[in-house]
Amino acid sequence: MIPLSLADIAQITGARLDLVPDPGVTVTGPVIIDSRSASPGALFAALPGERVDGHDFASAAVAAGAAAVLASRPAGVPALIVPDVPAAMAMLARAVVDRLPGLTIAGITGSAGKTTTKDLAAQLVERLGPTVAPHGSYNNEIGHPLTVLRATAATRYLVLELSARGAGHIARQCEIAPPSFGVVLCVGHAHAGEFGGLAEVARAKGELPAALPPDGVALLNADDPRVLAMAGRTAARVVTFGRAAQAAVRAEQVRLDDLGRPAFTLVTPAGSAPVRLRLHGEHNVVNALAAAALAGELGLDVPAVADGLSAATARSKWRMEVTVRPDGVTVINDAYNASPEAMAAAIGTLAAMARGRRAFAVLGPMYELGGESRACHEEAGGLAARAGVAGLIVVGEDAAPILTGAKAQHSWHGEMLAVPDPAAAVEALGARLAPGDVVLVKASRAAGLERVALALTGEAQAEEARAGQARAGEAGQ
Ligand SMILES: Nc1ncnc2c1ncn2[C@@H]1O[C@H](COP(=O)(O)OP(=O)(O)O)[C@@H](O)[C@H]1O
Ligand SMILES: [Mg+2]
CA distance 388 to 81: 60
Comparing CA positions, the residue from 205, 166, 172, 176 lying closest to residue 188 is 205
Please tell me the predicted confidence (pLDDT) of residue 370: 84
Q: What whole-number percentage of the chain has pLDDT above 90?
A: 85
164 lines ligand 1 (CB under 6 A): no
Residue 13 clears pLDDT 50, i.e. is over it: yes
Please tell me the predicted confidence (pLDDT) of residue 417: 96
CA distance 158 to 138: 13
Query: Hey, which of 316, 319, 343 would you mutate to test ligand 1's pocket, going by the most ligand atoms within 8 Å of its Cβ?
Result: 319
320 lines ligand 1 (CB under 6 A): yes
Protein residue with least CA distance to atom 3, ligand 1: 283
Q: What single-letter amino acid sits at 451?
A: R
CA distance 91 to 464: 38
Q: Supply the mean pLDDT for the chain.
A: 93
398 lines ligand 1 (CB under 6 A): no
Burial 106-139 (b: 16+ CB within 10 A, else e): bbbbbbbbbbbbbbbbbbbbbbeeebbbbeebbb
CA distance 396 to 419: 6
Please tell me the predicted confidence (pLDDT) of residue 372: 87
The pLDDT tens digits of the residues spanning 208-244 come to: 999 999 999 999 999 999 999 999 999 999 999 999 9
How confident is residue 51, by pLDDT bands cut at 50, 70 and 90? Answer: confident
Cα of 443 from ligand 1 centre, angstroms: 12
CA distance 96 to 108: 20
- Does an H or E element contain 45, and which? strand 43-45
The pLDDT tens digits of the residues spanning 397-448 come to: 999 999 999 999 999 999 999 999 999 999 999 999 999 999 999 999 899 9
Residue 473 clears pLDDT 50, i.e. is over it: no
Residue 471 clears pLDDT 70, i.e. is over it: no
Residue 21 clears pLDDT 50, i.e. is over it: yes
Residue 249 clears pLDDT 50, i.e. is over it: yes
Phi, psi torsion values for 113, nearest 5 degrees: 100, 5
Task: State how far the alpha carbon of 136 is from the alpha carbons of 152, 228, 392, 445, 459, in Å.
Answer: 20, 27, 30, 14, 20
Please tell me the predicted confidence (pLDDT) of residue 468: 47
208 lines ligand 1 (CB under 6 A): no
Helices (H), 272-416: 283-298, 302-311, 340-354, 373-386, 401-407
